[in-house]
Structure 1
Amino acid sequence: MKNILSVSVGSSQRDHTTVHTFLGQECQISRQGTDGDYDRAIQMYRDFDGKVDAFGVGGLEFYIKVADKRYYMRDVKRVAQAVKISKVGD
């Protein structure tokens, strides 16, 4: 079974876990909120890195592009730096 964790800075009251089968592969998908605590979210990425197959980071913009230039969001860049092993997807 594949394990996917979505870390959110949103409310922990919306946390949930479900199991679905995609293309014959069973996947456990969990959502964990940090109640607005960005540092706690970064720590969760570090704690679960290598323990889950992938992280979902829905809603985060790593950068905005203007003309030919990319402007990286400082706080979101911390997410990319925290994850070393697991895959990250939006």
Structure 2
Amino acid sequence: MHPIARLVVIIAVVAVVFWLVTRFRDSARGDKVSFRPVEDLPLEVQQSIDLALSHDRKATAVKLYRQATRAPAEAAKAAIDVREWKRG
């Protein structure tokens, strides 16, 4: 095998191993929750969520968020927590 081809193969293997290790580490941490911000939802949904939060109905706000995004419960709760925090 040509030395340059061997070098390219080694670099490719190292890159794949690095990608796999970082991917596994991120999935094993468990503290990473990604969600779509409430601000990115349609205005009607935002208003419904804000109305529920203004009446201290956090569970309803989470339910509305989940219906609009089909997000898992943990992500929906995180999104509503952030919205509540931003509202003050």
**TM-score normalised by the chain length of structure 2:** 0.24
Considering only CA atoms, is the larger Rg found in Structure 1 or Structure 2? 2
Higher strand proportion, which one? 1
Higher helix proportion, which one? 2
- Higher relative CO (Cα under 8 Å, sequence separation at least 6) belongs to 1
